[in-house]
Chain A
Amino acid sequence: MSDGDGFEPTIVVFACHWCTYQAINLAGTSRMKYPPNVRVIRVMCSGRVDPQFVIEAFKNGADGVLVAGCHPGDCHYVNGNMKTMRRTVMLEKLLQDMGIEKERFRREWISAAEAKKWVEVVTEMVEQVRKLGPLKLAEKREVVMNE
Chain B
Amino acid sequence: MSKPKVALYWCASCGGCEEATVDLTERLFDLIEAVDIVFWPIAMDFKREDLEKMEDGSIDIAIINGGIRLEEHEEMVKLLRRKSKIVIAYGSCAHLGGIPGLANAYPREEILKFAYEEAPTVINPDKVRPMKKVTIDGMEFELPEFLEYLKPLDEVIDVDYYIPGCPPTPDLTWEAISKLLSGEIPPKGHVFGSDKSLCHECPLNETKPDEIRLEELKRPHQVILDRSKCYLAQGVLCMGPVTRGGCEALCIKGGMPCTGCFGPLDGVYNQGAKALSFLASVIDIEDEEKYREMLEKLGFDPIGWFFRYSLAKGMIYRKKGDGE
Contact = CB atoms under 8 A, between A and B. Distances in A.
Interface residues of B, number: 45
Contacts of B286: 72, 79, 82, 85
A35 interface: no
Interface in B266-324: 268-270, 272-274, 276-277, 279-281, 283, 285-286, 288, 291-292, 295, 300-303, 306, 314-320, 322-324
B316 A51 contact: no
A55 B323 CA distance: 17
B239 to A, nearest CB: 15
A145 B108 contact: yes
B273 A50 contact: yes
Contacts of A132: 323
B147 to A, nearest CB: 6
A146 B302 CA distance: 31
B320 A143 contact: yes
Contact of B317 (A79, A137, A145): A137
Contacts of B295: 89-90, 93
Contact of A101 (B147, B151, B323): B323
Given A83-B280, A141-B317, A135 B300 contact: no
Contacts of B148: 138, 141-145
Contacts of B48: none
Contacts of A82: 286
Interface string A90-124: 11011101111100000000000000000000000
B276 A91 contact: yes
A90 B314 contact: no
A29 interface: no
A131 interface: no
A142 B277 contact: no
B320 A90 contact: no
A99 B288 contact: no
Given A137-B318, A137-B319, A141-B155, A97 B276 contact: no
Given A142-B74, A145-B109, 11 more contacts: A52-B274, A54-B273, A79-B286, A86-B291, A89-B288, A90-B295, A94-B306, A99-B318, A136-B319, A137-B318, A145-B108
